[in-house]
């Protein structure tokens, strides 16, 4: 069954340091996309970064990068130079491809709450 | 830029009451989705639509119905609300559904629903 696992319910990081949020996934579909979303305390879902299963290079978007290890089925989010505004819940999600019917639906992990300390 | 708008933002219902949550998007997206978010469980798909006039069941469809009569609107209905449906509901839309597309789903701000 398709699944996303985030094993870190909560994380702390010191301001200006880097932090890695873990995400592992399980799918038999060779074509899939991986997304990270941020949910601040205000509740909205903010898209951060995308990695496709056929992408050869790790995705980067500003201070966000994705450590994609396909053989290990992991897609960890790295936030560099943490800021107080990074305190939020972070969700890893997977969009499957043709084998799942190309519905476009996302399967979400349980989320990781990140707190940045000043 | 409105994006995805959900109405209402908060609602309290009594068990057995019915209500409809409205989702409207102004981005001309073909695909729309309803999720519910519960503590420790991430977001789970309730129903989705791949085009005007079409709907399909997601992971947790029981107790909900949906309609997509217009491309820009996706309605989620609770016919007889139950306390187990207390949750935060998110609507999302996307221009693409293929796995290798980098187009993300765009989310509304959510509806916080409490069933007493």
Q: Which residue in B has a C-alpha nearest to residue A48's C-alpha? A: B104
Q: Cα–Cα distance between B79 and B46 in angstroms, integer?
A: 15
Q: Which 73-112 residues of chain A touch chain B by CB within 8 A?
A: 91, 93, 95-98, 102-111
Instruction: Report percent pLDDT > 90 for chain A.
Output: 86
Mean pLDDT of the residues in chain A: 94
Q: Cα–Cα distance between B67 and B74 in angstroms, integer?
A: 6
Predicted confidence band of residue B28 (pLDDT cuts 50, 70, 90):
very high
Average pLDDT of A60-76? Answer: 96
> Are A33 and B48 in contact (CB < 8 Å)?
no
Question: Is the per-residue pLDDT at B27 higher than 90?
Answer: yes
Q: Which of B63, B61, B57, B66 is nearest to B81 (CA)?
A: B63
Average pLDDT of A13-31? Answer: 95
- What are the backbone dihedrals phi and psi of residue A16, each rounded to the nearest 5 degrees, phi first? 80, -5
Q: Which of B31, B3, B37, B18 is nearest to B110 (CA)?
A: B37
Instruction: Report percent pLDDT > 70 for chain B.
Output: 99
Question: Nearest C-alpha of chain B: how many angstroms from A38?
Answer: 11
User: What's the CA dihedral at B22, B49, A26, A94 to 10 degrees?
Assistant: -60
pLDDT at residue number B47: 97
pLDDT at residue number B1: 63
Cβ-Cβ contacts under 8 Å, B112 against chain A: 43
Instruction: Report percent pLDDT > 70 for chain A.
Output: 99
Number of Cβ within 10 Å of residue B53's Cβ equals 10
> Are A97 and B99 in contact (CB < 8 Å)?
yes
Average pLDDT of A37-51? Answer: 96
Question: Is the per-residue pLDDT at A101 higher than 80?
Answer: no
The answer to whether B91 and B5 have CB atoms below 8 angstroms apart is: no
Cβ-Cβ contacts under 8 Å, B33 against chain A: 104-106
pLDDT at residue number A16: 97
Question: Is the per-residue pLDDT at B40 higher than 70?
Answer: yes
The answer to whether B43 and B21 have CB atoms below 8 angstroms apart is: no
Question: Is the per-residue pLDDT at A98 higher than 80?
Answer: no
Q: Give the N- to C-terminal CA distance of chain A in Å, as an integer.
A: 41
Average pLDDT of B49-59? Answer: 94
Q: Which 12-41 residues of chain A touch chain B by CB within 8 A?
A: 29, 31-33, 35, 37
pLDDT at residue number A33: 94
Could you report the per-residue pLDDT of B60-109, keeping only the tens digit for each? 999 999 999 999 999 999 999 999 999 999 999 999 888 778 889 999 99
Average pLDDT of A90-116? Answer: 90
Number of Cβ within 10 Å of residue A15's Cβ equals 13
pLDDT at residue number A106: 93
What sign results for the dihedral spanned by CA atoms A69, A3, A23, B57?
Answer: positive
């Amino acid at each position: 069954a398709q699944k996303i696992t985030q094993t870190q319910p909560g994380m702390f990081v010191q301001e200006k340091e880097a932090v890695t949020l873990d995400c592992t996934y399980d799918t038999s579909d060779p074509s899939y996309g991986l997304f990270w979303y941020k949910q601040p305390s205000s509740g909205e879902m903010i898209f951060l970064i995308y990695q496709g299963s056929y992408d050869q290079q790790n995705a980067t978007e500003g201070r966000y990068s994705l450590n994609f290890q396909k053989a290990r089925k992991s897609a960890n989010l790295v936030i560099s130079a943490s800021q107080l505004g990074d305190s939020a819940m972070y969700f890893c999600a997977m969009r499957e491809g043709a084998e799942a019917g190309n519905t476009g639906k996302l399967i979400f992990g349980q989320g990781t709450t990140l707190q940045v300390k000043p | 830029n409105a994006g995805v708008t959900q109405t209402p933002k908060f609602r309290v219902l009594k068990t057995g009451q019915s209500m409809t949550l409205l989702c409207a998007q102004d981005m001309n997206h073909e695909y729309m989705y309803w999720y519910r978010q519960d503590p420790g469980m991430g977001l789970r798909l309730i129903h989705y639509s791949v085009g005007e006039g079409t709907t399909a069941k997601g992971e947790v469809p029981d107790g909900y119905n949906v309609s997509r009569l217009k491309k820009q609107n996706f309605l989620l209905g609770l016919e007889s609300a139950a306390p187990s449906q207390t949750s935060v509901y998110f609507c999302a839309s996307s221009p693409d559904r293929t796995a290798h597309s980098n187009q993300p789903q765009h989310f509304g701000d959510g509806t916080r629903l409490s069933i007493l």
